[in-house]
Every structure is written in C-alpha cells, then in structure tokens.
C-alpha cells in the first residue's frame, strides 16, 4: 500500500499520526506510544507490540533495529541462508524477552526465552500476551537447567556468561545442547586491567585465567544481575575462544559488526576497549 504521512500530534509520551493511502484505507499509527501498565517497567528492550505500543520508546528505535540484535541476525543469516524454518533457538537469561521476540519474528519454529528473575519473567509474559507469535515461549528457570528443554539448533547466550561463577562449565553445558551454533555476547577479561566494573586482579578459575566480578548484593533489586551467585568470573579473551573450541565448536570466530561502523575506534579507544565486550560465535560442523 502506498502511504503518505498527513499529520501528527504529540500525545503523552507518544506520537499519533494519521496516514492515508491512495486507496480509501486510513490507518492510525500509534508508534512511539509507551505501554501504559503500572506493573511493567522495561529496563532495556523496546519491543513493538502488536497494537503498535512500545515497551521502552525512550530508546528511540525498536528492538528489531538494535545493533546487537542486527549483528546476531546477520550471523544467523550466514549460518542459515535458507531461513529458519524448523529450527529451535533459545535465548538464555532473556530479561524482558526482546531478542526472543525478534527471533520468533524471524521465523524460527521455536524461540524459547529462559529467565530466572520473577520480575523480568513477568515482563516476558506481558509481552507474550501482546504479540501473536505461537512460536514464542518463555520459562522461568535458571539457565543451569538448560538441558531440561532439549536440544537447540542455536543457543543465544547474551549478557549472562559474565554473570556466572563457572563459565567454562556453562560453555560445556551449552555445547551439549547446541545442534549447530552458539552466539555468546559477553564481557571478557584482558591481561591489561580496565577501569570499569571493579574487576579483581588476574586470577585462575576452572583452570583458566581471568578476573572476578563482584555482583551487586541485592540480587533481587538489580534486574540485570546474577541469580544465586555473588561473584562471577570473566575469562581472559584468548582462553574464552579456546574454551569454546575445546567444548566442541571447531569453528570459533569473533563477530565485530555489533560495534557499529567504527570498529577500529571502538577497539582502540571506544566501547570494546573500555568494556571488554564482544560477540563470540562457535559453530559445529
């Protein structure tokens, strides 16, 4: 349909616009309207719900355009050029379900989000009830129980490895249930210290070098924190790559396009350098 923008008005936090087409159809566009539900407070993901409302419009762009989601999507499209029909993907520690929703929208046969924290899981269910995606589901559980849910073609492990005390054991667990690939978006340690996060001196854990991260004490209040462990271990980058390979993924690569257009800048003086975070992909052949 050929749509032409004919006007808009500010209403609350959102913008209501009316578009008309060359045909007689007129549609009301409610993009930018925040979900008005006092029970819900979304901390990260701006998901567009089926009625056009957004879970966190102040972000300014939808989850489907999030650079980290787009990076994962590009990787998945390379791994599965024929599409995602018949495939299962799991989104570990899925927070408010943003990635899982977008994976379901990409056409995976099943996109399962696993989240332990009750308040985050409630947000996931809020979203689930407002999108018509039968292939999307959520469970409230600890990611350490992953094997309960069978095998998955793809494991999406974003923002959780660095919240675990024994990350090597977790990578080995993921290798047992991954049919083809694991995408790990994670912080890592470097021999040179970084100022951020108050990490420990270099140490050894599970036979690997890295640094300890102290989790916030009130684990229930901090929606992004660990669940059940008070410290987490960040593996030194080189050994993280080795561990993914040793766990059973002969192809391992680091995908840099989540850093945006200025990759070198990010790695020398920007986010990658200051926060030590990247996307590591392991693939079975």
Ligand X SMILES: C[S@@+](CC[C@H](N)C(=O)[O-])C[C@H]1O[C@@H](n2cnc3c(N)ncnc32)[C@H](O)[C@@H]1O
- Binding residues vs ligand X (CB under 6 A): 44, 93-95, 114-117, 120, 142-143, 158-160, 163, 185, 224, 226-228
Structure-block tokens of residue 240: 């993280």
Tell the smallest beta-carbon distance from residue 164 to ligand X (Å). 7
Nearest to 40 by CA among 111, 119, 113: 119
- Residue 151, classified by CB atoms within 10 Å of its CB into exposed (0-12), middle (13-18) or buried (19+), is middle
Rank residues 5 and 224 by Cβ distance to ligand X and give the closer one.
224
Tell the smallest beta-carbon distance from residue 117 to ligand X (Å). 4
Tell the smallest beta-carbon distance from residue 101 to ligand X (Å). 12
Tell the smallest beta-carbon distance from residue 15 to ligand X (Å). 26
Rank residues 18 and 125 by Cβ distance to ligand X and give the closer one.
125
Tell the smallest beta-carbon distance from residue 78 to ligand X (Å). 20
Break the chain down into helix, strand, coil percent, rounded to 5: 30, 30, 40
For residue 282, the SS3 value is strand
Rank residues 93 and 258 by Cβ distance to ligand X and give the closer one.
93
Q: How far apart, in whole angstroms, are the C-alpha atoms of residue 203 and residue 208?
A: 8
Tell the smallest beta-carbon distance from residue 114 to ligand X (Å). 6
Q: Which residue is nearest to ligand X (CB)?
A: 159
| Whether the Cβ atoms of residue 125 and residue 145 lie closer than 8 Å to each other | no
Nearest to 36 by CA among 54, 48, 22: 54
C-beta neighbour count of 198 within 10 angstroms: 9
Q: Please report which helix (H) or strand (E) contains residue 100, including its range.
A: helix 98-106
Rank residues 227 and 249 by Cβ distance to ligand X and give the closer one.
227
Rank residues 35 and 143 by Cβ distance to ligand X and give the closer one.
143
Rank residues 14 and 168 by Cβ distance to ligand X and give the closer one.
168
Q: Please report which helix (H) or strand (E) contains residue 178, including its range.
A: strand 178-187
Those residues whose C-beta lies under 8 Å from the C-beta of residue 65, and which sit 6 or more positions away, are: none
């Amino acid at each position: 349909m050929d749509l032409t923008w004919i006007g808009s008005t500010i209403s609350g936090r959102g913008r209501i616009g009316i578009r008309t087409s060359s045909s007689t159809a007129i549609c009301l566009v409610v993009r930018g309207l925040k979900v008005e539900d006092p029970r819900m407070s979304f901390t990260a993901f701006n998901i567009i719900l089926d009625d056009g409302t957004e879970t966190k419009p102040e972000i300014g762009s939808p989850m489907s355009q999030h650079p980290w989601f787009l990076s994962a999507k590009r990787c998945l499209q390379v791994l599965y050029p024929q599409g995602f029909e018949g495939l299962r993907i799991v989104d570990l520690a899925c927070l408010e379900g943003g990635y899982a929703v977008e994976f379901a929208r990409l056409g995976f046969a099943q996109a399962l989000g696993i989240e332990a924290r009750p308040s985050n899981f409630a947000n996931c269910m809020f979203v689930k009830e407002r999108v018509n995606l039968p292939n999307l589901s959520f469970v409230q559980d600890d990611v350490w129980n992953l094997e309960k849910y069978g095998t998955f073609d793809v494991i999406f492990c974003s923002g959780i490895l660095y919240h675990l005390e024994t990350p090597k054991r977790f990578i080995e667990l993921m290798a047992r249930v991954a049919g083809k690939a694991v995408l790990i978006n994670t912080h890592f340690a470097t021999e040179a210290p970084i100022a951020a996060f108050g990490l420990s001196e270099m140490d050894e854990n599970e036979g690997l070098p890295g640094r300890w991260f102290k989790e916030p004490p009130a684990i229930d209040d901090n929606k992004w924190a660990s669940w059940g462990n008070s410290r987490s271990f960040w593996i030194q980058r080189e050994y993280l790559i080795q561990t993914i390979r040793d766990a059973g993924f002969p192809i391992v690569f680091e995908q840099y396009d989540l850093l945006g257009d200025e990759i070198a800048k990010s790695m020398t003086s920007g986010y990658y350098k200051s926060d030590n975070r990247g996307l590591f992909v392991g693939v079975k052949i």
